[in-house]
A and B are shown apart, each in its own frame.
Chain A
Amino acid sequence: MKAFFKIAFRNLWKRKVFSFLNIAGLSIALCVCFLIFQYISFESDYDNFHVKGDRIYRVSTDIKTPTDKLVWPSTPSGIVPRMKQEFPEIESQVRLMYRSFLFRKDDKKFQEDETLCVDSSFFSLFSFPLLKGDTKKALSDPLSVILTETAAKKYFGSADPMGQTLLFSNENLNMKVTGVMKDFPLNSHFRSDLLVSMATMEKFDSTMNSNFGGFNCVAYILLKKGTDPQKLAAKLPAFTERNWGKQLNEYKMRYTFYLERLEDLYMRSDREAWENGSITNVYIFSTVAVFILLLACINFINLTTARAAERSKEVGVRKVTGATRPQLIRQFLGESVLVCILSFVFSLLLITFARTLFNDLSGKTISEGIFQHGGQVLLLLLVSAAIGLLAGIYPAFVLSGFKPISVLKGRFVSGRSGTLLRKTLVISQFTISIALIVCTLIAYKQLNFMQSQNTGFKKEQMLVVEARGDSHMAAFINEVKNVPGVISSCVSSGVPDGSGVDVALSVLENNHGDMQTGSMEVYFVSHNFLKQYQIPIIAGRDFSMDLHTDSTEAMIVNECTLKEYGYISAKEAIGKKFEQWGRKGQIIGVVKDFHNNTLQKPIKPLSLRLQGQYFGLVSLSVAADGTQNTVQSVQKVWEKLIPYRPFDYYFLDDKFNEHYRGDARFGKLFLYFSSLAIFISCLGLLGLSSYSTFQRTKEIGIRKVLGASVTRIVSLLTKEFFILVLISFVIATPLAWYAMHKWLQDYAYRIEIHWWVFMLSGLLALFIALFTVSFQAVKAAVANPVKSLRTE
């Protein structure tokens, strides 16, 4: 055994460059696979820690209107309490709402945008440990709040928060701390630092338990043991008809309730909730991991069999001195496993450094430390050893099969089938690499397209202040207009980055004169909103301060609405009736469509109305010069007039670009993976070219003696690789086209896939390949022919 290790290490050391290439390739592949495995494990383990998880279901809703079908994860807040009353199969239920509330303690003030309002039954369904407080009572009363450890530290420092109070909202209500819980784990689809009792919401809204029209909460039910969820689900249509059939018929609507398994919500639900994973991404990452590992294994086989020629004499001597084939196979397999285990060790080092980059790429803190999951590290070690065995089998059999009399006479000739296999492997590597390059180019093109697309509104130099409808907002606006650098201002419930957009079931008069129900996105805006955001009106007029009816009876719609209601021209829509959220009136104007969301999503029917009570955001158009000073001045005004609220602001173009962060990460991911793939493929190519050159030493010597120039010899040696890359290109092109064509379908606005992307990818791969093999080719071409012929 000692001798085995000695020989193995000496062999590795003797061929340092190849050993390095082999180990580097495998280490990188193992590192990538480990991190991806952690990602997949993390994503797949969402919400799997709840003890009763197999009996918890989310109640989701499909809403069918005459023109539309909406697929939502939420339900009206009155639905599940009624379900619990009528179905004995339901053991318990809980409703959750995310709200943004202002909390203050002494001089600390925070706008908590992710405050969760929950029923008191929350802890009887979900397994979140309560460090202090009684799970049965902590959320029973109004104005009760449970803090996470992070929130407790934030507001109370090291003091015990139990029984203490926080000032709640700008109405200075005292919210009592009734519990402290551990922070929500990373693999929970709930994310909050404060849990407020639903009784608080009921105190301010007495219709909470009877509401069936506003989809304002996400509700979960806990089924009794032994309950068949499908049988329960089958009873829900009759339940809906029984309780709300008449009202729904009036509005020509239908509700269909669905039960979704808790453990499926994050990855498999297609209903957009607070945090959704993507099974597609898991598949993509898994595929990439397999590809990268495959490339590294192909490399290993290629480099080892290429080096086989160099070890042929050793094999011959060993056989002559008595080694049997099984003994040699064991020796070479052992060396292969040793290389893989060394690669495993180096991969651990790489993981340590790559962790941060990976967390950044994935957008989550997945990997907190290698040894956090000892089981996974052990698995990686076993995988490494298995790779050593699997990848080492072919080279071991090849090497141990050499005939001693041939190799010892220097007449080593590898079989043709060995060369064919190596070429096939290189073709596979370059097919994968070219496909990844294509994917990277297209991903970046799409990202560029989205970021440079005209969104239809002004987003540059637009400072958005989150005023949250504060009672002093009007005073703030009046004063901030005078700040140097502020050009204009407006207020609204939402701004065109997707923030604050509500969706309302609206009834509009269609082109036949019928009142038609549909869903519409809603902005509540001030008079100058359209002017400030430079959104053009294509028919009718803007809101007028001179017409007081505009504030109650006027609506402006977008072009997309016209199609929905059958209007051929924008002018046709002017004067048509609407009903929305208790208001009735007429359409006074039509604006050009603008992208109020990322280009992943299509533009939807949109309405704008004047209704001051919903304003929450102040938009300030600021001058490009001295922006920072302007912001500071605005902040001073805020702190003077609204000192009890934190000054939260952002620039609209930055926020808009944040939406593309996921896509930018995706693009970066493909960039890294395609670079890796090319790098590893080049390692394999280096091995193959080295082997090929070695095989042709005699031929090169003879050609040189007969007068061949260096250039001719280099082109002779590189020609075969040119053909390999060409074949790879032909295979990769349709595969990459298909994959990216499918990926682009997720985007409502997308680029065309042009032919030159494939051409560029192929040329790039070809250039890199030829550059790689040219080292060996030039080295062989300039060698002294006497040396290469002397062996004969």
Chain B
Amino acid sequence: MTMIKIENLEKIYRTEEIETVALNKISFEINNGEFVAIMGPSGCGKSTLLNIIGLLDDLDGGSFIFNGTEVSKFNERKRAEMRKHNIGFVFQSFNLIDELTVFENVELPLIYTGVGTAERKRMVDEVLDRIQIAHRRNHYPQQLSGGQQQRVAVARAVVNKPKLILADEPTGNLDSRNGNDVMQLLTDLNEQGTTIIMVTHSEHDARYTHRIINMLDGQIVTQNIKI
């Protein structure tokens, strides 16, 4: 079943003098349970595309159907509402909040979806166990290694049981061992049914995926390549 259907998507950045077409009428689909990599050189528009899929940014043209709902005309409030119940994010630079412990960082999405205290505790404990970072629950991000921080970020991304995880260069700041650990983690999540879209420069990481979408200059060059 199709989770994401994008048709003729356009994104243009305008300043007073310059107009930059970041995404030039691209179309593609992603099905439930897929693990897709988006690759391309710097400036090709892959992060822009990821932000639009993640409902962090709006589009200037085209159609975007997410789980059967047309979201292209959603305002910020509706996008936020859709995002927090359905999408989890993993970033290259982890983006954990330094003032919060591991437990509190992972708990954050549950607070914003209104989950009660006891239920939150249960869900966070469960996911920390699953990600194998429970022993660090009371530590702060600056006390963890890069790999551990990224695992916490992944835990935060999945705690709300989102349908979709978006990962923007998740291993970009990690050494190869930790990078492999994280990729394996994502693979395990995908096998459990979570759809994952990952932006990456690494062909090594792309091998973990089912499909690669290649982009260049705001357009999809190739897709549906299986490794």
Write the residues of chain A forming the contact surface with B, with a CB cutoff of 8 angstroms.
3, 7, 10-11, 14, 313-314, 316-325, 327, 404-405, 408-410
CA distance A409 to B108 in the complex (A): 20
**Chain A residues within 8 Å of B97, by CB:** 313-314, 317-318
CA distance A11 to B91 in the complex (A): 23
**Chain B residues within 8 Å of A314, by CB:** 97, 99
Check A319–B80 contact: CB distance below 8 A.
yes
**Chain A residues within 8 Å of B83, by CB:** 320, 322
Known: A3-B104, A320-B89. 18 other contacts (CB 8 A): A11-B99, A314-B99, A316-B95, A317-B96, A317-B97, A319-B80, A320-B54, A320-B56, A321-B109, A322-B80, A322-B83, A322-B109, A322-B113, A322-B160, A405-B51, A408-B93, A408-B95, A410-B93
**Chain A residues within 8 Å of B108, by CB:** 317-318, 321-322
Write the residues of chain B forming the contact surface with A, with a CB cutoff of 8 angstroms.
47, 51, 54, 56-57, 76-77, 80, 83-84, 89, 91, 93, 95-100, 104, 108-109, 111-113, 156, 160
Check B95–A317 contact: CB distance below 8 A.
yes
**Chain B residues within 8 Å of A319, by CB:** 80
**Chain B residues within 8 Å of A325, by CB:** 76
**Chain A residues within 8 Å of B156, by CB:** 321
Query: Which residue of chain B lies nearest to A314 when distances are taken between CB atoms in the complex?
Result: B97
CA distance A404 to B55 in the complex (A): 11
Q: What are 19 A-B interface contacts by the 8 Å CB criterion? A: A11-B99, A14-B98, A316-B95, A317-B97, A317-B108, A318-B97, A318-B108, A320-B54, A320-B56, A321-B109, A322-B109, A322-B112, A322-B160, A323-B80, A324-B77, A327-B112, A405-B51, A405-B57, A409-B47
Query: Which residue of chain B lies nearest to A407 when distances are taken between CB atoms in the complex?
Result: B95
Pick the contact of A404 from B56, B84, B100, B112 — CB < 8 Å?
B56
CA distance A410 to B56 in the complex (A): 15
Check A408–B112 contact: CB distance below 8 A.
no
**Chain A residues within 8 Å of B95, by CB:** 313, 316-317, 320, 408
10 closest residue pairs by CB, A with B: A322-B84, A322-B112, A10-B99, A321-B109, A321-B108, A405-B56, A405-B51, A317-B95, A314-B97, A323-B112
Check A324–B91 contact: CB distance below 8 A.
no
CA distance A746 to B108 in the complex (A): 65
Residue among A10, A14, A316, A317 having the largest count of chain B Cβ atoms under 10 Å: A317
CA distance A404 to B109 in the complex (A): 15
Query: Which residue of chain A lies nearest to B166 when distances are taken between CB atoms in the complex?
Result: A320
Check B51–A324 contact: CB distance below 8 A.
no
CA distance A410 to B93 in the complex (A): 10
**Chain B residues within 8 Å of A318, by CB:** 97, 108, 112
Query: Which residue of chain A lies nearest to B47 when distances are taken between CB atoms in the complex?
Result: A409
CA distance A410 to B89 in the complex (A): 16
**Chain A residues within 8 Å of B111, by CB:** 3
Check A324–B100 contact: CB distance below 8 A.
no
Check A7–B99 contact: CB distance below 8 A.
yes
CA distance A313 to B91 in the complex (A): 12
Query: Which residue of chain B lies nearest to A315 when distances are taken between CB atoms in the complex?
Result: B97
CA distance A3 to B80 in the complex (A): 22
**Chain B residues within 8 Å of A10, by CB:** 99-100
Check B80–A324 contact: CB distance below 8 A.
yes
Least distance between A105 CB and chain B CB atoms (Å): 72
**Chain A residues within 8 Å of B100, by CB:** 7, 10
**Chain A residues within 8 Å of B160, by CB:** 322
Query: Which residue of chain A lies nearest to B156 when distances are taken between CB atoms in the complex?
Result: A321
Check B99–A321 contact: CB distance below 8 A.
no
**Chain A residues within 8 Å of B98, by CB:** 14
Query: Which residue of chain A lies nearest to B55 when distances are taken between CB atoms in the complex?
Result: A320
CA distance A322 to B162 in the complex (A): 12
CA distance A404 to B76 in the complex (A): 12
**Chain A residues within 8 Å of B56, by CB:** 320, 404-405
Least distance between B193 CB and chain A CB atoms (Å): 21
Least distance between B60 CB and chain A CB atoms (Å): 15
Pick the contact of A408 from B77, B91, B109 — CB < 8 Å?
B91
